[in-house]
Amino acid sequence: MSQEIPYKIYLSESEMPTAWYNLRADMKNKPAPLLNPGTGKPMGFDDLRGVFCDELVRQELDNDTPYIEIPDEIRSFYKMYRPSPLVRAYCLEKKLGTPAKIYYKFEGNNTSGSHKLNSAIAQAHYAKQQGLTGVTTETGAGQWGTALSMACAYLGLDCKVYMVKCSYEQKPFRREVMRTYGASVTPSPSNTTNVGRKILEKDPNTTGSLGCAISEAVEAATTTPGYRYVLGSVLNQVLLHQSVIGLEAKAALDKYGVKPDIIIGCAGGGSNLGGLIAPFMGQKLRGEADYRIIAVEPASCPSFTRGKFAYDFCDTGMVCPLAKMYTLGSGFIPSANHAGGLRYHGMSSTLSQLYHDGLMEARAVEQTSVFEAAEYFARVEGILPAPESSHAIRAAIDEALKCKETGEEKTILFGLTGTGYFDLYAYEAFNNGTMTDTIPTDEQLAASLATLPQIG
């Protein structure tokens, strides 16, 4: 075992990124524009500014500027919990007996427990800068809501969170962290919005989905003066903010002359993966280097691997713009999988375009095999991983085991997006042997995909 590379590679404050990297600037095939669901026309600044903060709309629509400076207030906040460690998984390598070299970028070192804080503070900053009084949002697993409530508390903004009902019930502790930071938390679907009431009328026992919660949060933002809606994933602006993960990881690896062969991340709406791969994919797009990039999603919500690349609504209530993405249909409600943050019917349009163009791969994994990997990892590396992050661990272990068979010394980098301290009901189900794998049938998917809007 070479000790030249430390267990943890940190960057100094002066080595931290001063600008986010906008991957779209290097894409030949740009992600398709958001469309107005009423007119079917691409949405511009004026169409979007009623929902999102002005500066975030500019970032959303900017397909050309490669680097966007990180404002001082955000950089100062980042310094409270970043740079996040890049860990060489020596213990995991040894236990697996693999010749592969495994690195992971750990984003769970802040109180909110995940990478979501990287975009939450950016979005809250721009809302405050615009003189708004508050923001609304949805949250699945609760990490995004927690992160946003932390950022809003720091900047003195109100924060209303619609939390997917099954997570609200499964994760009462996350709810209380959000309330402690001053956010109001409503289980979704709820009867506090028109769209929520409609969804409940159709299916009073629904466990909810991110798509439902988004519809409610958008309605609440557009009907409350001084508020805008913010989103924790999927959008281009969120991938932009999350590029800080990849920029730091690349700078740390470059310090030791390490180039990964395989880069792996879990994919819910695509923000951590889009952020982690950003500078590497940039090199790939510019023809400077090549990497194998793997998105890992749950078999219960397989948007990349079994979805369709088409325009669809970003939400269940069909009030949001249409995005061209890999989707399972906006009405698709996945089984109550424990990786709440990966239960989204669609995928970032940037990642969807890259996948469509063959620049990355995707695979779907089953819940119990994900928890087997999580348990294995926790026992050797010490960190209790979030169920979402454990999807990436599953794939990283599988790739490392392939290296063991072939004897190849590949370098694997994966994103460890968060901790699993608030996911102990999931671990309990796994430990008790009551965890199940629910995979949608072809018929269920076909029925959901049949409702895709017809765009010319």
Ligand X SMILES: Cc1ncc(COP(=O)(O)O)c(C=O)c1O
Rounded to a whole number of angstroms, the minimum distance from the CB of residue 386 to ligand X is 4
200, 213, 266, 413: which one binds ligand X (CB under 6 A): 266
H runs (alpha helix) in 42-193: 45-48, 54-61, 72-81, 90-96, 117-129, 143-155, 165-170, 172-180
By CB under 6 A, tell whether 272 contacts ligand X: yes
**How is residue 10 annotated by DSSP?**
-
By CB under 6 A, tell whether 43 contacts ligand X: no
Compute the C-alpha angle 70/113/83, nearest 5°. 40
Q: Got the DSSP string for 231-249?
A: -SSSSHHHHHHHHHHHHHH
By CB under 6 A, tell whether 188 contacts ligand X: no
**Is 379 within 8 Å of 305 (Cβ atoms)?**
no
**Binding piece for ligand X, criterion CB under 6 A, among 50-58, 162-170, 266-274, 443-451:** 266-274
Other CB atoms within 10 Å distance of the CB of residue 129: 14
Rounded to a whole number of angstroms, the minimum distance from the CB of residue 144 to ligand X is 5
Rounded to a whole number of angstroms, the minimum distance from the CB of residue 342 to ligand X is 6
Other CB atoms within 10 Å distance of the CB of residue 406: 11
342, 364, 396, 397: which one binds ligand X (CB under 6 A): 342
Pick out residues in 210-239 that bind ligand X (CB under 6 A): 233
Given CA atoms 34, 36, 42, 46 in this order, what sign does their dihedral have?
negative
Q: Which residue is nearest to ligand X (CB)?
A: 341
Residues 6 or more apart from 361 whose CB is under 8 A from it?
292, 293, 294, 295, 355
By CB under 6 A, tell whether 326 contacts ligand X: no
Amino acid letter, 227: Y
Q: Which of 363, 372, 352, 357 is nearest to 399 (CA)?
A: 363
By CB under 6 A, tell whether 388 contacts ligand X: yes
Rounded to a whole number of angstroms, the minimum distance from the CB of residue 39 to ligand X is 29
Rounded to a whole number of angstroms, the minimum distance from the CB of residue 447 to ligand X is 25
51, 386, 396, 412: which one binds ligand X (CB under 6 A): 386
By CB under 6 A, tell whether 397 contacts ligand X: no
**Binding piece for ligand X, criterion CB under 6 A, among 29-37, 286-294, 366-374, 385-393:** 385-393
How many residues bind ligand X (CB under 6 A)? The answer is: 21
By CB under 6 A, tell whether 269 contacts ligand X: yes
78: phi > 0 → left, psi -120 to 50 → alpha, else beta; which?
Answer: alpha
The rounded Cα 433 to chain-centroid distance in angstroms is: 28
Pick out residues in 399-418 that bind ligand X (CB under 6 A): 417-418
Query: Cβ closer to ligand X: 147 or 200?
Result: 147
Query: Footprint of ligand X on this chain (CB under 6 A)?
Result: 114, 140-141, 143-144, 233, 266-273, 341-342, 386, 388-389, 417-418
